Amino acid sequence: MSSIKQVINDAVEKVRQPNPIRLRDLIRQIRSAKTAAEERAVVNRECAYIRLTFREEDSVWRCRNVAKLLYIHMLGYPAHFGQMECLKLIASPRFTDKRIGYLGAMLLLDERQDVHLLITNSLKNDLNSSTQFVQGLALCTLGAIASPEMSRDLAGEVERLLKSSNAYIRKKAAVCALRIILKVPELMEMFLPATRSLLSEKNHGVLITGVTLITEMCLQSPDMLAHFKKIVPNLVRILKNLIMAGYSPEHDVQGVSDPFLQVKILKLLRILGCGDSDASETMNDILAQVATNTESSKNVGNAILYETVLSIMDIKSESGLRVLAINILGRFLLNADKNIRYVALNTLLRVVHADNSAVQRHRSTILECLKDADISIRKRAMELCFALINGNNIRTMMKELLTFLENAEPEFKATCSSKCVLAAEKYSPNVRWHIDTLLKVVEAAGNHVPDDVVSSTIQLISETRAEQAYAVGELWRHLSVAQLEFQPMIQVSTWCIGEFGDLLLNGQADVTVEETQIIEIYQKILWSSQCSITTKEYALTSLMKLSARLNQEVGSIQQVVSAFGSHLNIELQQRGIEYSQLFTRHNHMRGPLLERMPPFEGVRGSGTEGEKGGVAITNGLDNSPDNQSLLNDLSSPNNNNNINSTHENNESNALLLLLGGIEPGEGDTVQASTSPATSTTNTTPAPRSTVNADILDLLGLEPGPTAPSSTTTTSTSPAQLSHTNNSSSPALLLDGLLNNTPSTTTTTTTGIAPLSTPTANSTTLPTNNFIIPQSLSQPSVPGIVAYDKNGMKLDMTFEVHDSVTTINMLATNTSLAQVTDFLFQAAVPKSLQLQMMTPSSTSMAPSATLTQVIKVNNPSKVPLRMRMRLSWQANGSVVQDQGEISHFPPALWQ
């Protein structure tokens, strides 16, 4: 009985076999899978079956199977084995097969695939088909996946179809032509005649694709741009008809007539009018009309207004029109739609440098955006606010920005506080205000204050003698009520109180403080579990300094300091031991050692070229530029940074001193370099050999941790040595006492080494060894390879001075042919200025090089991008290429 059933079942199966399951059923099966594994099983089973039918050359169900495969592909499974089947479908005479075949080709192939040779033939056939929809499918596919080879092979067909009488074909051919010239720019010429008729078209599909095609041609070639200047009146007329014509249901979008076409025309007008006063003149009126007549209550109207504003700002438009444009953006800022506010801020940010005063008028609205619910809008608003700050509005702007800073997301706090410091530096009305602002910034940003803000605050207080009493009083007020939660504020406070604590006590600071109160606070900080090690390092050194400022409490200071001799943290332990030595064995020199630091103002003045630029650098925004320039100096002594050579020399001496320690063989260098460093600062110079020996000691190159008699000379000068380095290199100075950065830790330890216990010595060793090579190997700004194709290689190296980046381009002819007429052209975003120097040559023998200097001024510090166009002659033919360089190292603008 059961065997009969089996036979029947088999028979039924056999009859069913030829019909594969339908797409719909497969999708249902896959969707009903409860687990990923189950889904995978269904898919694998089906894929195996599909492969089988493909192998059997089953043409009846090929279409259905490819469709299923495309669904499977979308789920993320491999489907490349369907590529050939797509091509077979395309070759089929049935429209259904072609439709799925072309769809599959667009999804499974892209321009890298080898099968392209095969598809090109099918495309050629179908482009010549008598059915418009078959032609349409072929054009659509070509538009999506055309490769350079396909473009060359099929350009003729496309050009012919561009002149077809059928609008459905013409519009698609125009997009294909666009794709072709993107892939192979030299084919542009052949489409030029056909473009003429595209603009006199009634059909909007043909118009919009025609305008798009012409736009691309103008962008690609200056000749085309010049050629198409004459169509400006036509474009103006089309646009006018669009906005003047009454309601046309076919192209209406919420009361606006064909916004898609309007935007394309506005964009082309912008390109044609850019830098051309005649063309700009012709389009002034229509732009004003669009700007005033477009309904702005809906997104679609605002899309057009936005495009209009961009065009007005880019062409040489009348000043009244520009104000109108900025007012449109101002109105956008009040719009309820967040997208529109975002776009407005973005656009304002682009134009703020060109029309600052017009943007200023919307300052209050922009300030309102700082409170927006959308984080990206707040971010834009913040950037825009900093671009708007000037000497007149700094007080109000800073007030708002400080409120913003206080409530800002942690990720904003660091950049915002750095920018506040820069702005205050540039525009502060007076020193008192400046100090107040910096203190507020440090307070508002809490623990997110970057180190550079801490150091610039300290620096400012250090160099303004008249305000020190005020500042230290303010800081004491902060510190006496501080919750010890925010480290940067404590660091600034302890540093200043350590330096100027006497002002606090002798009543100059407008507060009455008892010595015991100070000690109490310091004890709180030093034993608090909330305070970071760095803060404690600040506090300990500061407390040590106070031992020379206070009268009664020196004993308790000594107690606290010596307690640190057994601290778990090595750095603090070492300080504790060193400092307690200053109370006992070397008590007689404690006073002079802990003298007030010389103000840093000399540094600020001679820092770098002129005015405030130097400060921007010491602020450390460009990750320790001092260190960088120093390294530059070391690696390329003939660098043309002559401006501050003396200053940098001293710095390099300081580093060389350290280097000398590592390489005992280079004793000469060490001697040569130590002498200027010590002589410029007039401290008691330790005998050079001793310094050298000490460093060797420290690095463990020679045994002998116990100090010989000569070490006393050096050991007396832990602070002096750091003074030596300090006064020669400002950045080191700050850190030297505070022990912020690794390099200075080394400096200080160098001097103190003989004093400390052997254990401390050996533990600091690895740190030293680690630090020096690291700081040495750090490149200034890494160079990039901008281009490496067609036998031409362009290397770029960079030098940054303030906002000006100097790009040294080295072109190398890597081909075997002689290169002549080498031409490198570049363009940068609008907010940047570009200056190209003449190249060292225009021809290169094989593997020869030439250089060209490019200067980019980037005042707003936007990410640098560059479009470049290259051309040269080799082997009698012209090589042309273009591209965009977008991988510049971010260090160039950060």
Partner 1 sequence: MQFMLLFSRQGKLRLQKWYEAHPDKLKKKITRELISTILARKPKMSSFLEWRDLKIVYKRYASLYFCCAIEQQDNELLTLEVIHRYVELLDKYFGSVCELDIIFNFEKAYFMLDELMVGGEVCETSKKNVLKAIAAQDLLQEDEIVEMALRDMGLI
Residues 59-98 that bind partner 1 (CB under 8 A): 67, 70-71, 74-76, 80, 94-96
Contact map string, positions 814 to 853, toward partner 1, x by CB under 8 A: ----------------------------------------
Nearer to partner 1, 304 or 737 (CB): 304
Q: In what order do the strands lie in the sheet with 804-813?
A: 784-789, 792-801, 804-813, 849-857, 833-836
Nearer to partner 1, 175 or 772 (CB): 175
Q: DSSP class of residue 276?
A: -
Smallest distance from the beta carbon of 142 to partner 1, in angstroms? 8
Q: How far apart are the first and last CA of the chain?
A: 85
Q: How many angstroms separate the CA atoms of 390 and 423, rounded?
A: 8
H/E stretch holding 121: helix 116-127
Name the one range near partner 1 by CB under 8 A: 261-269, 538-546, 608-616, 663-671.
261-269
Smallest distance from the beta carbon of 224 to partner 1, in angstroms? 17
Nearest to 68 by CA among 56, 91, 85: 85
Nearer to partner 1, 145 or 445 (CB): 145
Smallest distance from the beta carbon of 11 to partner 1, in angstroms? 22
Smallest distance from the beta carbon of 57 to partner 1, in angstroms? 19
H/E stretch holding 836: strand 833-836
Name the one range near partner 1 by CB under 8 A: 100-108, 462-470, 540-548, 782-790.
100-108
Nearer to partner 1, 382 or 597 (CB): 382
Nearer to partner 1, 60 or 244 (CB): 60
Residue with tokens 């017009």: 358
Asked whether the beta carbons of 126 and 162 are under 8 A apart, the reply is no
Asked whether the beta carbons of 392 and 400 are under 8 A apart, the reply is no
Smallest distance from the beta carbon of 455 to partner 1, in angstroms? 32
Nearer to partner 1, 381 or 731 (CB): 381
Name the one range near partner 1 by CB under 8 A: 172-180, 185-193, 403-411, 510-518.
172-180
Q: How many angstroms separate the CA atoms of 748 and 767, rounded?
A: 13
Q: How many angstroms separate the CA atoms of 641 and 635, rounded?
A: 13
Q: Residues 112 to 151: which contact partner 1 by CB under 8 A?
A: 112, 131, 133, 136, 139-140, 143-147
Name the one range near partner 1 by CB under 8 A: 32-40, 175-183, 449-457, 458-466.
175-183
Q: Residues 864 to 883: which contact partner 1 by CB under 8 A?
A: 865
Q: Which one of residues 152, 260, 414, 533 is an interface residue with partner 1 (CB under 8 A)?
A: 260
> If binding means CB under 8 A, how many residues of this protein chain bind partner 1?
73
Q: Which one of residues 168, 220, 508, 565 is an interface residue with partner 1 (CB under 8 A)?
A: 168
Q: In what order do the strands lie in the sheet with 877-885?
A: 819-827, 866-874, 877-885
Asked whether the beta carbons of 823 and 801 are under 8 A apart, the reply is no
Q: Which one of residues 239, 328, 340, 441 is an interface residue with partner 1 (CB under 8 A)?
A: 340
CA atoms within a 13 Å half-sphere pointing along the CA-CB vector of 60: 3
Our finding on whether 20 is near partner 1 (CB under 8 A) is: no
Q: Which one of residues 261, 521, 560, 811 is an interface residue with partner 1 (CB under 8 A)?
A: 261
Structure tokens at 877: 């033919």
Smallest distance from the beta carbon of 840 to partner 1, in angstroms? 31
Q: Which one of residues 259, 330, 473, 614 is an interface residue with partner 1 (CB under 8 A)?
A: 259
Q: How many angstroms separate the CA atoms of 757 and 564, rounded?
A: 14
Nearer to partner 1, 219 or 554 (CB): 219
Nearer to partner 1, 171 or 322 (CB): 171
Q: Residues 346 to 365: which contact partner 1 by CB under 8 A?
A: none
Name the one range near partner 1 by CB under 8 A: 9-17, 301-309, 439-447, 713-721.
301-309
Q: How many angstroms separate the CA atoms of 181 and 215, rounded?
A: 12
Q: Which one of residues 33, 91, 107, 511 is an interface residue with partner 1 (CB under 8 A)?
A: 107
Our finding on whether 338 is near partner 1 (CB under 8 A) is: yes
Nearer to partner 1, 485 or 884 (CB): 884
Smallest distance from the beta carbon of 312 to partner 1, in angstroms? 14
Q: Which one of residues 312, 343, 435, 471 is an interface residue with partner 1 (CB under 8 A)?
A: 343
Q: Which one of residues 64, 171, 419, 688 is an interface residue with partner 1 (CB under 8 A)?
A: 171
At 256, phi and psi to the nearest 5?
-110, 135
Smallest distance from the beta carbon of 793 to partner 1, in angstroms? 23
Q: Residues 184 to 223: which contact partner 1 by CB under 8 A?
A: 204-205, 208-209, 212
Q: How many angstroms separate the CA atoms of 674 and 695, rounded?
A: 13
H/E stretch holding 668: helix 667-681
Nearer to partner 1, 13 or 250 (CB): 250
Nearest to 41 by CA among 59, 53, 25, 29: 29
Name the one range near partner 1 by CB under 8 A: 38-46, 304-312, 756-764, 817-825.
304-312
| 804-813 and 792-801 strand pairing | antiparallel
Nearer to partner 1, 131 or 277 (CB): 131
Smallest distance from the beta carbon of 261 to partner 1, in angstroms? 6
Q: Which one of residues 85, 126, 159, 258 is an interface residue with partner 1 (CB under 8 A)?
A: 258
- Residues with Cβ within 8 Å of residue 391, at least 6 apart in sequence: 427, 429
The Cβ of residue 108 has, within 10 Å, a number of other Cβ atoms equal to 23
- Cα torsion 88, 94, 97, 102 to 10°: value is 80
Smallest distance from the beta carbon of 549 to partner 1, in angstroms? 52
- Residues with Cβ within 8 Å of residue 277, at least 6 apart in sequence: 316
Smallest distance from the beta carbon of 652 to partner 1, in angstroms? 39
Smallest distance from the beta carbon of 859 to partner 1, in angstroms? 20
- Residues with Cβ within 8 Å of residue 99, at least 6 apart in sequence: 137
Contact map string, positions 363 to 392, toward partner 1, x by CB under 8 A: ----------xxxxx---------------
Nearest to 562 by CA among 573, 575, 576: 576
Q: Residues 23 to 52: which contact partner 1 by CB under 8 A?
A: 24, 27, 31
- Give the 3-state secondary structure of residue 881: strand
Nearest to 624 by CA among 729, 765, 719, 483: 729
Q: Which one of residues 85, 307, 443, 735 is an interface residue with partner 1 (CB under 8 A)?
A: 307
Nearer to partner 1, 204 or 419 (CB): 204
Q: Residues 281 to 300: which contact partner 1 by CB under 8 A?
A: 299-300
- The 3-state secondary structure of 535-579 reads HHHHHHHHHHHHCCCCCCCHHHHHHHHHHHHHCCCHHHHHHHHHH
H/E stretch holding 851: strand 849-857
